[in-house]
Structure 1
Amino acid sequence: MQGYNVLMIYDKEMTKLLMCERLKEPYKGLRNLVGGKIEEGETGLEAAYRELLEETSITAEDVTLHHLMDFTYYHLKCFVEVYVGRLNRNVSVSGDENILYWSGLDQNFYDMSLYAGEGNIGHMIEQVNLVKGRLFSAAT
């Protein structure tokens, strides 16, 4: 079964979420979270930090990732590990795989005409909202 990760990166104030516009399939042209494949021999967390650095230039010193949840797609023979983090400081993001931008949290992330993931992004944001007090107790 192939593993993937998806990374929910919030700004320091927890008011914006790092998103991308997909430049290739799947979901070309739709808004999405960053992430990628878990390579053979990597733990999920190692892969999450590697993908984060490759796609955004955000380092492990900039953010602490927390394993939030998983999705398993048995008929597609894959699983997705979801990680969430709040930046420790303001950083510049850059990458050439997709177009990166900071989104406000007042969007309809369930709108499948705009967002990838069949509504999962909205669901994941709701899950973060349930536990962010415990994960990010120092959030201001």
Structure 2
Amino acid sequence: MQGYNCLMVYNPEMDRLLMCRRLKDPYKGLSNLVGGKIEPGEAGMDGAYRELEEETGIRAEDIVLHHIMDFKYYLQDCYVEVYAGRLKRPVTVEGDENELYWSDLDHDFFDMSLYAGEGNIGHMIEQVNMSRALLVDGSNHSTVSQD
């Protein structure tokens, strides 16, 4: 089963998300998150940091990634590991695989005419919003009452 990663990179203020405009299929012309293939024998987290640097120039010392969720696609024989992190400081991003840009967060990320992933980007953003404290201050505070 082939593994992929999907990387949600927020700016230091957590009000913008790094996106790319796909230059090739699948999803050519649509906005997507950065990511790529996990190499055989490579730990998922290692692959996430490797792909992040390859595609954007962001290095491990610039960000702490958190493993947020996974998607497993049995019919396509693949899985996607989703990571999210907040930059420690502003950085210049650069890459030649896709057109990189910073997106405000007030868009409809479920709009499949604009965003890749069949609505998954919207779902992932909502999951990060539910655990925002993890990215903002590194804590793992639960928002669910334990009464």
Which residue pairs with 1:44 in the alignment?
Answer: 44
Offset of residue 134 of structure 1: 3.0
Pair 1:64-2:68 in alignment = no
Q: Distance in 2 between matches of 1:92 and 1:134?
A: 24
Q: What is the correspondence of 1:113-124 to structure 2 with a 5 Å cutoff?
A: 113-124=113-124
Which residue pairs with 2:88 in the alignment?
Answer: 88
- Could you list the runs of 5+ residues in structure 2 that have no partner in the other structure? 139-147
CA distances 1:57-105 after superposition (whole Å, capped 9, x unpaired): 0000000000000000011100000000000000000000000000000
Q: Are 2:86 and 2:135, in contact at CA under 8 Å, matched by a contact in 1?
A: no
3-state SS of the aligned residue for 1:81?
Answer: strand
Pair 1:16-2:13 in alignment = no
Q: Distance in 1 between matches of 2:36 and 2:135?
A: 23
Pair 1:4-2:26 in alignment = no
TM-score, length-normalised on structure 1?
0.97
CA-atom RMSD in angstroms: 1.2
The residue type equivalent to 1:95 in the other structure is G
Which residue pairs with 2:141 in the alignment?
Answer: none
- Could you list the runs of 5+ residues in structure 1 that have no partner in the other structure? none
Q: Distance in 2 between matches of 1:104 and 1:56?
A: 18
Runs (4+) of structure 1 exceeding 6 A deviation are none
The residue type equivalent to 2:80 in the other structure is V
Which residue pairs with 1:98 in the alignment?
Answer: 98
TM-score, length-normalised on structure 2?
0.92
Identity of aligned residues (%): 69
Q: How many residue pairs were aligned?
A: 139
